[in-house]
Amino acid sequence: MNGAPNPSFDPRIASWLEDDPATAPAQVLETVIASIPSIPQRRAALRVPWSVSRMYTFARALVGVAVVAIVAGGLILASLRSPATVGGPSVTPSPPAGPSSATTATYSPGPLDGTWSATFSGTEAGFKSGAIDPRGVGTWKLVFGPSPQGSAFVPSVITLHPGTQLAAGSAALIEYLPGGVVQVAADPGVGGCSTPGTYHYVLTGTTVVLTLTGSGDSCLGRAAVMTAHPWIKTIP
Amino acid sequence: MDRAAAGDRDAFSALAAATVDRCYALAYRILRDPYRAQDATQQALIGAWQDLPTLRDLDRFDAWLYRLVVNACYIEIRSDRRRAARVRVLTLDADRSADPATGVADRDALDHAFRSLTPEQRAVVVSHHYLGYPLTEIAENLGIPVGTARSRLHYAVRQLRAVLDSDARNVATSQEQSA
């Protein structure tokens, strides 16, 4: 084993790789530029604010004591409110209220709230048996947030796409289930899905990239749209 | 680049415009899929925007971005294995069929063989044979020992040849049986 060049085979690999495309489709850059305003940059290091750095030692000590007191008070309160949690808090995040709690007075923001974008070529599964469907070409959006229909306190997802009604419903109520699962309700609208669908959701890239997976949706068109691409958050 | 690192969105947009083709070309060659290459390119550039202020040596931007793209490709390959099967229509490129040096059959055979490689092997093969990086630079950019880069390249090329030979034998056998 030496990794030495192979005079007969290496040029063949190089030639083959050279023939592949070298230019990105325009929508790649467009999506990146559109998403940047909603994505904060990470700072290299936490800097001490000017006002704090000039504080006297005694004042800084007071601030430190106050912080410790607040944290300790919070921990005591938390332990008093959850006496059954012996062994530490649960690692399962509690999902926000779903459609079943429609009478709740205030809207509980969900982990997916915001606008997410993905660029489709129109040839993904479910689009007219794999043929290119011009109605599906372009940038699709998923908008998670308060329901635009009925109660404004119920979380929902709207699928916005460049063409007419195609594969996914125009709007649907959602419910966050334990274990990182979101359930999309049936969409009674014309061309909508008649059954609910469930998806696992994973947020990466400091929660600006959403990946939906899973086969818990019998509405194949909706499933194709939801799972074909990672979704990039473009509006928080 | 300094302005982009300081949060100037217009400066970063210009930087992204100048590098997006290179990112896509690299991602396409590793992933062998235009749609996944688009996704990986977007994720790498968004990651670059997020983390640019943490890059200490801006002169290393190209190598750093290269690593972001390769890592995005790894994520794409692994996430795609978990995803439901997708159906995609492959379009035939007329120019390829007219290429006298590398025919369609040869390209398809290489494509099939390449897909048998691990993501890590693919990255080293593309870096060496397409970008022209020496093994020392590949190792430095990917953060691996030179010996590991050399080993990956060696076994990748051996695997490519093995799959190509196997495919050729299968074709010969089926032709003999049909004759």
Q: What is the ipTM of this complex?
A: 0.79
- A117: helix, strand or coil: strand
- Are residues B65 and B143 both part of a single domain? no
**H/E segment holding residue A101:** none
**H/E segment holding residue A50:** helix A50-53
- Are residues B133 and B169 both part of a single domain? yes
Q: What is the pLDDT of residue A169?
A: 45
Whether B124 shows a pLDDT value over 90: the answer reads yes
Average pLDDT of the residues in A214-218: 77
Q: What is the pLDDT of residue A215?
A: 72
Q: Taking all residues of chain B, what is their mean pLDDT, rounded to a whole number?
A: 83
- Are residues B179 and B114 both part of a single domain? yes
Contact B46 A232 (CB under 8 A): yes
Whether B14 shows a pLDDT value over 90: the answer reads yes
Taking alpha carbons only, the member of B144, B90, B94, B87 closest to residue B121 is B144
Q: What is the pLDDT of residue A39?
A: 81
Final residue before a domain boundary, out of B82, B98, B119: B82
Final residue before a domain boundary, out of B38, B64, B82: B82
Task: Please give the Cα distance from B85 to A227 (Å, whole number).
Answer: 10
Residue A218 has φ and ψ, to the nearest 5°, of -80, -10
CA angle A18, A23, A29 (to 5 degrees): 150
Higher model confidence: residue A236 or residue B61?
B61
Task: Please give the Cα distance from A18 to B29 (Å, whole number).
Answer: 9
Higher model confidence: residue A174 or residue A66?
A174
**H/E segment holding residue A217:** strand A209-217
Alpha-carbon B113 to chain mean position? 14
Residues with Cβ within 8 Å of B45's Cβ and at least 6 positions away in sequence, in order, are A32, B16, B19, B20, B23
- Are residues B99 and B174 both part of a single domain? yes
Whether B91 shows a pLDDT value over 50: the answer reads no
- Are residues B29 and B10 both part of a single domain? yes
How far apart, in Å, are the Cα atoms of B62 and each of A25, B15, B46, B48, B65? 21, 11, 15, 11, 5
Q: What is the pLDDT of residue A158?
A: 73
Q: What is the pLDDT of residue B71?
A: 92
Q: Per mean pLDDT, which of A27-31, A169-173, A190-194 is the most reliable?
A: A27-31
Work out the percent of chain A whose per-residue pLDDT is above 70.
53
Average pLDDT of the residues in B102-122: 84
Task: Please give the Cα distance from A176 to A174 (Å, whole number).
Answer: 7
CATH number for the domain including B30?
Answer: 1.10.1740.10
Task: Please give the Cα distance from B54 to A78 (Å, whole number).
Answer: 36
Q: What is the pLDDT of residue B154?
A: 93
- Are residues B50 and B89 both part of a single domain? no
Q: Does residue A126 contact residue A116 with C-beta atoms inside 8 Å?
A: no
Task: Please give the Cα distance from A141 to A159 (Å, whole number).
Answer: 6
Helices and strands: H and E segment counts in chain B: 9, 0
- Are residues B121 and B163 both part of a single domain? yes
Calculate Rg over the CA atoms of chain A. Answer: 25
Whether A36 shows a pLDDT value over 80: the answer reads yes
pLDDT bracket for residue B44 (50, 70, 90) = very high
Task: Please give the Cα distance from B85 to B100 (Å, whole number).
Answer: 35
Name which of B3, B10, B46, B55 to mutate to probe chain A: the one with the most chain A Cβ atoms within 10 A of its Cβ: B46
- Are residues B89 and B177 both part of a single domain? yes
Give the domain extent around B158.
Answer: 84-179
Q: Taking all residues of chain A, what is their mean pLDDT, rounded to a whole number?
A: 68
Whether A197 shows a pLDDT value over 80: the answer reads yes
Whether B153 shows a pLDDT value over 90: the answer reads yes
- Are residues B172 and B99 both part of a single domain? yes
Of B84, B110, B154, the CB nearest to A227: B84
Contact A41 B29 (CB under 8 A): no
Average pLDDT of the residues in A158-182: 68
To the nearest whole angstrom, how far is the Cα of B45 from the nearest Cα of chain A?
7
Find the distance separating the first CA and the last CA of chain B, reported in whole Å: 64
Of A16, A28, A124, the CB nearest to B110: A16
Q: What is the pLDDT of residue B6?
A: 86
Whether B49 shows a pLDDT value over 70: the answer reads yes
Q: Does residue B67 contact residue B143 with C-beta atoms inside 8 Å?
A: yes
Final residue before a domain boundary, out of B57, B82, B107: B82
Reported pTM: 0.57
Task: Please give the Cα distance from B41 to A30 (Å, whole number).
Answer: 12
Of A37, A42, A211, the CB nearest to B9: A37
- Are residues B45 and B62 both part of a single domain? yes
CATH number for the domain including B116?
Answer: 1.10.10.10
Whether B112 shows a pLDDT value over 70: the answer reads yes
pLDDT bracket for residue B136 (50, 70, 90) = very high
DSSP-assigned beta bridge partners for residue B70? none
pLDDT bracket for residue A171 (50, 70, 90) = low
Contact B84 A215 (CB under 8 A): yes
Q: What is the pLDDT of residue B118?
A: 92
Average pLDDT of the residues in A140-149: 75
Task: Provide the domain count of chain B.
Answer: 2
Q: Can you read off the two tokens belonging to residue A208?
A: 């600006």
Q: What is the pLDDT of residue A127?
A: 54
Task: Please give the Cα distance from B81 to B77 (Å, whole number).
Answer: 7
Whether A98 shows a pLDDT value over 50: the answer reads no
> Which burial class, exposed, middle or buried, applies to B53 when counting CB atoms under 10 A from its CB (0-12, 13-18, 19+)?
middle
Whether A91 shows a pLDDT value over 50: the answer reads no
- Are residues B28 and B43 both part of a single domain? yes
- Are residues B131 and B67 both part of a single domain? no
